[in-house]
Amino acid sequence: VQPEQIEIIKTHDESLTLFHHQFKERYHSIHGAIAETMHVFINMGLKKVDKDVINILDFGLGTGLNALLTYLEGKKSPQTLNYHALEAYPIEMDKIAQLNYIELLNAENEREFFNAMHHSNHLELLQKNQFNFAKHLVKWEDFETDIKFDLIYFDAFAPTVQPELWTIEVFEKLYNMMSDEAILVTYCAKGYVKRNIKAAKFILESLSGPPGKREMTRAVKIT
Ligand SMILES: C[S@@+](CC[C@H](N)C(=O)[O-])C[C@H]1O[C@@H](n2cnc3c(N)ncnc32)[C@H](O)[C@@H]1O
């Protein structure tokens, strides 16, 4: 992403996020970037998967906050996390360096690993504390894999700005990349998005949302 396209803004829990001028969208909720990510992806996603080895797809990496919080959560459990981050438009390192997640999360020891995740090349494997990280620097449209994901963080920009990423076809492609009983979590709870997820054969749950949002969505693949 061109640096001038990206602006840094503060959300209500003090954590910073980015605003993308071309998409005219924030990377997180204004009500709190860390609060939203903790609720939607960690508490309603990661913590609900009861497996020794969890294959995770993060769509997309953006600021890396989902990855950082997943890594920190993973350190508390003996599970092995295989983390696959998808990103078509990586953010410049000088912007990443201005984010305040490491400070707010008291994770100074992890700054180097956080930066390494951002610096890493396409499919380069990083490893720390049973957390295996690989970045897929491709567009979703070109993303192919044999991996069966147990957990998907569906974190594209909103359907108002990226309608092409919230279609039945996209959810069907995701469904086919998932293991049995795998779950997909997203911050979005729009009616037509839920209908598209359902049409792709997922079982849907509407859950209470993060601060400032009434609802979020979790979808389970039951074959
Ligand atoms: C809402 S932001 C992600 C927020 C991110 N999880 C974070 O914590 O910052 C959406 C992300 O999806 C990426 N993206 C948008 N369209 C994409 C596509 N077609 N393929 C892959 N990634 C895409 C964007 O570049 C952006 O980083």
Cα-to-centroid distance, 25 and ligand 1 (Å): 11
- Tell me the whole-structure pTM to 2 decimals: 0.98
pLDDT in tens, 19-43: 999 999 999 999 999 999 999 999 9
Q: What is the DSSP string of 59-118?
A: E--TTSHHHHHHHHHHTTSS-EEEEEEE-SSPPPHHHHTT--HHHHTT-GGGHHHHHHHH
Mean pLDDT score, 201-221: 97
State which of 87, 114, 161, 185 you would mutate to test the pocket of ligand 1, scoring each by most atoms of that ligand within 8 A of its C-beta: 87
Pocket, ligand 1, Cβ cutoff 6 A: 27, 60, 62-63, 65-66, 86-89, 139-140, 155-157, 162
Residues in CB range of 195: below 8 A, 6 or more apart? none
pLDDT of the residue at 4 = 82
pLDDT in tens, 89-128: 999 999 999 999 999 999 999 999 999 999 999 999 999 9
Which residue minimizes the CA distance to atom 12 of ligand 1? 60
DSSP state letter for 41: I
Cα-to-centroid distance, 157 and ligand 1 (Å): 6
